[in-house]
Every structure is written in C-alpha cells, then in structure tokens.
Amino acid sequence: MHLFTNAVIYTGSQVLRYASLAVQDNIIAGIYPEGERYTGPVESVTNLDGLSVAPALIDLQIYGGGGLLFNNDPTPETIHATFRDVQAGGGGWFQITLSCSAPEIMWQAIEACRTYRAQGGEGLIGLHMEGPFFNPEKKGAHPLKNIQKPSKENIAAIVERGRDIVTYMTIAPEMFEEDALDMLLGSGIILSAGHSNATFEQAKYAFGRGIGRATHLFNAMSQLQGRAPGMVGAIYDTAPFASIIADGVHCDFASVRISHKLLGEKLFLITDAVTGSNRGDYRFRLAGDRYVDADGTLSGSSLTMWQAVRNCTQKAGIPLEESIRMASVYPARAAKLADRAGMLAPGYPAKWIAFDEKLDLAGEHCRLGTTRTT
C-alpha cells in the first residue's frame, strides 16, 4: 500500500481538500477526506504538500507526436511517441487518429494498433478513423482523393479488419444509404458526425438513428444560421456528445463558453493535435499557435489536453472543476470508458495529474503510466 497525503483531490464528482489517496497495485484502494485517514500498513508515504490532483486526461483525437505523423508512419513506434506527448500534456489515455486515408494506409494503421496492444498497449483506447466517408464539401485539409462513397463492401472491410481496434469513426451521415448506415451502426464502432454538410433535418435524423457523437464542433460542418440551422443547430437541439478544440483558433473562446452552457456534460475537449510533416498526403507546418497545410488551410492544433483545460478556465470562463471534467469524465463517457477511466475513485486505475495553484503541472507527481483500458 502506498499513501499520498495532503492533496486537493478533484475526483470527478467533488473536490476534497487536505485529502489522501491509498494505492495498491496501481489501483486506488481508498480516498480519505480531511479528518479521515488510512490506518493499515503502508509501504511508502508521499506528502503532496497541497498540490491538486485530478484524473488523468483523455484525448480522443490526436494524430501523432514526437515528430511522427500517424498517416505517414502508421507504426507502433508512432503510437508510442504519441503517447509520450500525450503524457507530457497531462493525458493518460488516447485514441490515435488516422486522417482520411487510402485503404492500404488504413490497414497498416489497424495492424500497428494491434501490434502496439500486443506490446503492452500503453494508454491506447483504440483507433479513431476520421474518414474515409466524408462529404467532399467539408473535407477541410483532407485530400479529396482519399474520400470514399460508403458501400456495404468497403464498410464490411473496415469492420472486419478493424475488429476490436477501430473504436471510433467520424462520418458524414448524409452520404450514407440506409442499409450502409445500418451496417456501421451495428458494428460496435462509436460513430461521430463530422466533415459533414448535413442540413438540420438530416443531422437530426442521424442523431435519432443512433449516431451519438459529433466531431470538433463548428469545424468542417454546416453552421447555425437563422434560416438553416445546419449541423451545429442540430447538435445544440439534440445534445449528442460533442468534442471541441479549445485553442481560440478553431473556434472563439466565447463559442466554447456558449456551447458549454447549451450542452453541459455532453461537451468534451480534444486536442486535434498534429505534428510537422513534409511528406505524404498530409504536409503540415507550424504557423504560430496552429498547424496549416501547404495551402495555408487550418489543419490541426498544437494543443495539449492540459492547455485546453487551462484555456477553458482562464479564457472561456468555465470553472476549473468543470474544465477538468471536460477533459476526463466526459470523454470517458463518450468513449464508453466511464467504468475504468476519467475518475479518481476506489477501484479505478491510479492515474492522475498533479498541478499547483498557478495551474502548472507538477510532472514529478503525475502518475500517467502504463495501465491499459482493456
């Protein structure tokens, strides 16, 4: 048993001051508020000296790390490098994300995830396939040549090859015939609407059919207008889980605040972070606080999850406790991991971040190790 004392603990449901955590075999054995304490045998005691502790953060959309972009290098090494960047930004769990790609790259990405899991699977939830079933009118920085029209044949190939690996897929629902959408809805893959030019009515219908997520709110989707509420209007009206990029570039911080007022516990943070690349279909360069492609099109963020939390608190005016939940509790629910990630509670993995009163991470006290989600 290892004891961590004198902390402010953000459990995911409450904030406990002058509290302690007991950890055994990398699992939380108990949490003790002020006035209570663990009285059994202890192997070690760490005084956190008033630091705050919160659940390890969860990034459901990140494309690479350590200078390696998953589309260019769909290998276990890229996934490992990405996890190291995820950890540096306060994350303990992540979905490696593959941008809209040719079939051979998709198959390589699936096998890379399978190999990474066989090697230990540090932090990996699974593969988020962003595409290939987009609306070309909302392709963003994704190459038109990689967009596919959904059919039973290409859906069946993805479902079969990606079994237990492809956990999440971003699709444009208006591009699907009913039988093709039924195949995906029955596959067990979590579906998210994005890169879509759906009308309000089409988007509402898709959410009603069972697409319970939306990808990077405001970006690459039909906007809310007075006479055409679009995808954004349908998200506000239906309240699926929706991810948002809180960097002040992909959307204004006021839009983050307004969206949180409307969506509450359904709004969660992602980084949408890429890395520099000068080859392949995706060539990105850092332009100040964002990444752009060769044409200057916004292509991804340079965020970390902890930066997104800080931005929500310091720039969007969302309370810190809620900003932390947007990066832990709510993405855990969106990814169907709420029983084993996103909280600090007995029985959950002992994976957490530690930070000071200035909201700077105290890296030496963060526990963002190797515990798997499966």
Give the full edge-to-edge strand order of the sheet including 290-292.
285-287, 290-292, 298-301
Distance of CA 254 to the CA centre of its chain: 21
State the CB neighbour count (10 A cutoff) for residue 369: 14
DSSP SS3 for 70: coil
Assigned token pair, 252: 């204004």
**Which residue, 73, 138, 146, 130, is CA-closest to 98?**
130
**Which residue, 126, 252, 116, is CA-closest to 188?**
126
Alpha-carbon span 293 to 239, nearest angstrom:
32
DSSP SS3 for 218: coil
**Which residue, 251, 232, 244, is CA-closest to 323?**
244
State the CB neighbour count (10 A cutoff) for residue 248: 18
Q: Which residues are catalytic?
A: 272
The pairing of beta strand 44-47 with beta strand 290-292? unpaired
> For residue 64, what are the β-bridge partners?
69
**Which residue, 222, 107, 84, 211, is CA-closest to 165?**
107
- Asked if 130 contacts 170 with a C-beta cutoff of 8 angstroms, the reply is yes
Backbone angles phi, psi at 81, to 5 degrees: -65, -35
- Asked if 189 contacts 169 with a C-beta cutoff of 8 angstroms, the reply is yes
Alpha helices in the chain (DSSP H): 76-88, 103-118, 152-161, 178-185, 200-209, 230-238, 253-263, 305-314, 320-326, 329-334
- Asked if 140 contacts 220 with a C-beta cutoff of 8 angstroms, the reply is yes
DSSP SS3 for 15: strand
What is the residue whose two structure tokens read 């949180």? 260
